[in-house]
């Protein structure tokens, strides 16, 4: 599989809030965005880059706390920021409406909050919420935030049967909104089935994006996450963050 990017990809998103970093987006919930975010953030910090992971909104809290996981992997509390935390394990807009207390969730405040964090640090790894069409706030979706923030996107997808359609549509949606695609991570890749073994080449052919299979990582160990990701992704993945 090559490391080429599609020739037709635009150079910037629509918002131009951030110039350095990457937006980790998923084809769905539970595909491994947080592990990839933690690994990238730790990798950048190992390179003495002042990197921070940003979670715009956390639902299902507690027990779900993606920012806390990044902090544990990086070994420091300043490695991650979470802007909003909501208890119901639902899409943010729905979670705010269904929360026991009176919660007002504003798309503008989320967008501006991400911008403030990004502006204050050398580089940022922003983690999405579920997939791109997840309702965020005020009738806006995660894809709107990705486009407005203006960072290139790294897509995280499942490795097995059923991932072709979700991944191709995700890449297509990003490009339609002017978001450059760094590539696709096929998470927890084991090559145990024919679908898994053929998916990387199929996705590369369908999307024109680089595809990197990443095997299951030891998420209990910082080295397992950071070194594991570093072993299977080229440093060019970080290029949007360090070579702009």
User: Would residue 6 count as lying in a domain?
Assistant: no
- Confidence check: pLDDT of 236 > 90: no
Q: Is 142 annotated as a binding residue?
A: no
Question: What pLDDT sits at residue 66?
Answer: 98
Residue 178 lies in a domain: yes
- Find where tokens 């909050």 sit: 113
Rounded to whole angstroms, the Cα distance separating 130 from 173 reads 15
Q: For 110-155, what is each residue's pLDDT tens digit?
A: 999 999 998 889 999 999 999 999 999 999 999 999 999 999 999 9
Query: Which residue matches tokens 């729905």?
Result: 94
In a domain, 8, yes or no: no
**β-pairing verdict for 80-82 and 123-127:** unpaired
Residue 15 lies in a domain: no
What digits encode the pLDDT tens for the residues 63-106? Answer: 999 999 999 999 999 999 999 999 999 999 999 999 877 789 99
Q: Would you say residue 208 lies in a domain?
A: yes
Q: Which domain holds residue 197?
A: 21-236
Residue 39 is labelled as binding a ligand: no
| 11 domain-assigned | no
Q: Is 178 annotated as a binding residue?
A: no
Q: Angle 163-176/142-149 helices, nearest 10 degrees?
A: 50
Cis before 63 (ω within 30) = yes
Known catalytic residue at 55: yes
Give percent above pLDDT 70 in the chain. Answer: 90
Instruction: Specify the CATH number for the domain of residue 169.
Output: 3.40.50.300
Q: Is residue 18's pLDDT more than 50?
A: no
Q: What is the DSSP secondary structure assignment for residue 190, as one 8-state letter?
A: -
**Tally of domains within the chain:** 1
Catalytic one of 55, 111, 158, 175? 55
Give the C-alpha separation, 171 to 175, whole Å.
6
* pTM of structure: 0.91
The predicted structure's pLDDT at residue 94: 96
Between CA 225 and CA 39 the distance in angstroms is 5
Paired with 214 in beta bridges are: 187
User: Any binding-site annotation on 30?
Assistant: yes
Q: Per the domain annotation, does 130 fall within a domain?
A: yes
Domain contains 108: yes
**Residue 15 pLDDT class (50, 70, 90 cuts):** very low
In DSSP terms, 57 is beta-bridged to none
The reply to whether 32 sits in an annotated binding site is: yes
Could you give the CA distance from residue 148 to residue 150 in angstroms, rounded to a whole number? 5
Q: Which of 99-108, 153-162, 179-188 has the lowest mean pLDDT?
A: 99-108
Q: Which two tokens stand for residue 141?
A: 């979706």
């Amino acid at each position: 599989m090559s490391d080429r990017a599609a020739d037709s990809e635009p150079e910037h998103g629509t918002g131009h809030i951030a110039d350095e970093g990457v937006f980790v987006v998923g084809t769905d919930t539970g595909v491994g965005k947080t592990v990839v975010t933690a690994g990238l953030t730790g990798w950048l910090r190992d390179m003495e880059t002042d990197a921070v992971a940003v979670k715009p909104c956390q639902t299902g809290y507690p027990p779900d706390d993606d920012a806390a996981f990044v902090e544990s992997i990086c070994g420091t509390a300043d490695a991650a920021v979470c802007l909003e935390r909501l208890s119901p394990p639902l899409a943010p807009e729905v979670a705010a409406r269904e929360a026991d207390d009176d919660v007002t969730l504003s798309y503008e405040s989320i967008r501006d909050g991400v911008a403030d964090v990004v502006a204050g640090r050398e580089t940022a790894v922003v983690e999405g919420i579920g997939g791109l069409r997840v309702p965020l706030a005020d009738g806006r979706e995660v894809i709107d935030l990705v486009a407005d923030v203006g960072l290139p996107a790294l897509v995280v997808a499942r490795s097995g049967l059923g991932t072709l359609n979700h991944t191709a549509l995700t890449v297509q949606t990003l490009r339609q909104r002017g978001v450059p695609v760094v590539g696709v991570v096929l998470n927890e890749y084991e090559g145990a089935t024919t679908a898994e073994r053929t998916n990387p080449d199929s996705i590369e052919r369908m999307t024109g994006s680089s595809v990197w299979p990443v095997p299951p990582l030891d998420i209990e160990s910082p080295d397992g996450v950071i070194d594991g990701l570093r072993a299977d992704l080229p440093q060019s993945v970080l290029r949007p963050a360090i070579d702009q």
